[in-house]
Amino acid sequence: MDLAGTAATRHPLIRIAAFLVLLICCPAGMGQAVPVDPEIARAKELLAQERWQEIVNLAQSIPAPSAEFDFYLGTALARLGRLEDARQAFQAGARSRPSDERFSLELAGVAFKQKLYPEAARYLHRALELAPSDSYANDFLGTVYFLQGNLDAALKYWNRVGKPQIAEIRAEPTPRLDPVLLDRAFAFSPASTLRLGDLHTTQARIDALGIFPSYHFDLQAREDGKFSLLFRNHEKNGWGRNKWEGLILLFRGLPWQSINPEFYNLRHRAINLVSMWRWDAEKRRALAVLSAPLGGKPGREYGISLDLRSENWNIRDSFSGPAPLLGSLNLRREAIGAQFAYVVSGRWNWSAAGEFSHRDFRSVIPGVALSPDLLARGYQLKQLAQVGAEIWQLPEKRITLKGSLSSEAGRIWSQPGHAFFKLRPSLRFHWFPLSQSDDYEIEHQIRAGKTFGDVPFDELFMLGWGSDTDLLMRGHIATRDGRKGSGPLGRNYFLSNWEADKNVYRNGLLNLKLGPFVDTGTVTDSLAGLGSHKWLWDVGAQLKARVLGFGVVLSYGKDLRSGNNAWWVSMLR
């Protein structure tokens, strides 16, 4: 009984003590409303009545306005067209209350009215850092990038709010390609939302068709709030749009003793036949590749190829000046191949191929560069595979980073037999520095190759400017007196190519770009007569010209190791 009575009296005492603690901690009028600043209340009333000038007049009587009043003042000044004064008011409020996203949004609005779109984008990014899910800020930022011509960035932010809605899709001019095949290339359709991923998938499929050397998508706003999507394109058909273009494309390789018979979009089904015939006595070659969409589905491309070569090689360590002969031979090689490429999405793709070939070596002078393993004659079966992926994209800065990994595994039926495996990773960084236009362009590509086992001579890697290599060292020419072999050769390599281009002239027919480049690389091999034996550094400049669907590069490069100067002209596809 005593214990029960003690417990009963304890609970009221606890409640009384808790009440006294609260009373001590909150002595200033519990239950009273927080007082409202009369100037802010008056400003809110004037704002609701859109009496902008009276808000400005009220500000003159306040010596130290609060951040909230700065917001109302900036709004009134902006409505009166006093944009610079409005900017100062919003900036003052942002300094006092940096976590309030309203000030960043209003500063973006001021910059937008002044058509300072990059500045508006910076303020909107700040607002989204404070409130990532703000639909108004995402929509506004998408609009800013759209007006800058940056479609990828616009879609990134518009997609967060379910925009843009596509009402129609048109092509200008109307392609000759089968409309069903073109429709299948598009990963989106009318009456749907245009997603950034779908746009990239569409671009990858169109690239795979091989008949649109240049194109772009133009998003056009409509009065109903939806958009029309215009596919502006230049299409390859037959051997050219007219006989003059056809003749130019056919004979564009005459300076290199070659012609290029090419036929595109046969039967309006994106069936392409690309070939080259070179009669240069030192490096004869006949090449033909037939490709088409498999099953009429763009992004699933198959091809067959034929490659016949008869080449004279003189292996030297320089393309000019004194350079002793390290070995020489005549290579004869015949190969037939089949390949399949699949565009999974705009983010990644893969391909697989097989090649059956035969090689023979004649007039061999081994020297110190050629071993019996390199001169393995006979038939070879090779399997090739590659996967490519978009590693990183920053559409706001117009930056992309792509990577690929390819492998080759082959076996030669020679005496004795040989097998080999080659692995080749690569990275490509691409950037348009300006917020709009392609006036400046920067690209940096890093590649490497590693060989395992015994490879024949024609499977070695070769650096330098040459007619049949894409591993460019633009201060080194891979031929001397017309014969191949003066570029660094070996089983393993590392190569870095950096270049920047500036548009110097453009009209509807001709486009000229000029810019510097820096190449660095090395080739290694177990044979003393092969490899570069040191890191190579080349610097120089190049002029790129494009006209009538093909391009030409005029390049000057300087080898910083030897001091050699290299001039070279090549064709761009």
Q: How many C-beta atoms surround the C-beta of residue 166 within 10 A?
A: 17
**pLDDT band, residue 570 (cuts 50/70/90):** confident
Please report the pLDDT score of residue 282 as a whole number: 95
Query: How many Cβ atoms from other residues are within 10 Å of residue 20's Cβ?
Result: 10
Q: Is pLDDT of 74 > 70? A: yes
SS3 of residue 471 by DSSP: coil
Say yes or no to pLDDT of 28 above 60. no
* Spatial separation of the C-alpha atoms in residues 316 and 318, rounded to whole Å: 6
Q: Which of 336, 340, 428 is nearest to 385 (CA)?
A: 340
Give the pLDDT confidence of 88-104 residue by residue, as tens digits: 999 999 999 999 999 99
Question: Is 532 strand, coil or helix?
Answer: coil
pLDDT at 245: 81
Could you report the per-residue pLDDT of 436-486, keeping only the tens digit for each?
888 999 999 999 999 999 999 999 999 998 878 899 999 999 999 999 999
Confidence of residue 353 (pLDDT cuts 50, 70, 90): very high
Q: Which residue has the tokens 């550094």?
A: 537
For the ranges 155-164, 325-334, 541-550, the lowest mean pLDDT is seen at 541-550
Please state whether the peptide bond connecting residue 322 to the residue before it is cis, i.e. omega within 30 degrees of 0. Answer: no
**Interatomic CA distance for residues 123 and 127, integer angstroms:** 6
400 — pLDDT class (breaks 50, 70, 90): very high
Q: What percent of the chain has pLDDT over 90?
A: 76
The one-letter amino acid at 228: S
pLDDT of residue 466: 81
How far is CA 129 from each of CA 96, 98, 136, rounded to the nearest angstrom? 18, 11, 14
491 pLDDT above the threshold of 90: yes
165-234 and 243-572, same CATH topology:
no
Confidence at residue 456, expressed as pLDDT on a 0 to 100 scale: 94
Identity of the amino acid at 479: T
Q: Among the CATH numbers 2.40.10.480, 3.30.9.10, 3.10.20.310, 3.40.50.2300, which is that of 165-234?
A: 3.10.20.310
Pick the CATH number of 39-161 from 1.25.40.10, 1.20.120.80, 3.40.50.300, 3.30.365.10: 1.25.40.10
| Reduced 3-state DSSP string for 234-288 | ECCCECCCCHHHHHHHHCCCHHHCEECCEEEEECCCCEEEEEEEECCCCEEEEEE
What the block records as the tokens of 274 is: 């690309």
> What does the pLDDT read at residue 406?
98
pLDDT over threshold 70, residue 11: no
Structure tokens at 93: 């409020």
Per-domain boundaries in the chain: 39-161, 165-234, 243-572
pLDDT in tens, 139-180: 999 999 999 999 999 999 999 999 999 999 999 999 999 999
Highest CATH level, class, for 243-572: mainly beta
Q: Which residues pair with 293 in a beta bridge?
A: 301
pLDDT over 80 (residue 17): no
Greater confidence (381 vs 414) lies with 381
Q: Which residues, 6 or more positions from 494, have their beta carbon under 8 angstroms from its beta carbon? A: 447, 448, 521, 522
CA-nearest of 568, 567, 558, 561 to 518 is: 558
Which phi and psi angles does 13 have, rounded to 5°? -65, -40
Reduced DSSP (H G I as helix, E B as strand, rest coil) percent helix, strand, coil of the chain, to 5: 30, 40, 30
From CA 431, how far away is CA 440, in angstroms rounded? Answer: 9
Q: What is the mean pLDDT of residues 230-258?
A: 88
Q: Do strands 418-431 and 479-480 pair parallel, antiparallel, or not at all (unpaired)?
A: unpaired
pTM over 0.85: yes
pLDDT in tens, 260-278: 999 999 999 999 999 999 9
pLDDT confidence tier of residue 5, bands split at 50, 70 and 90: very low
Segment 298-309 shows an average pLDDT of 97
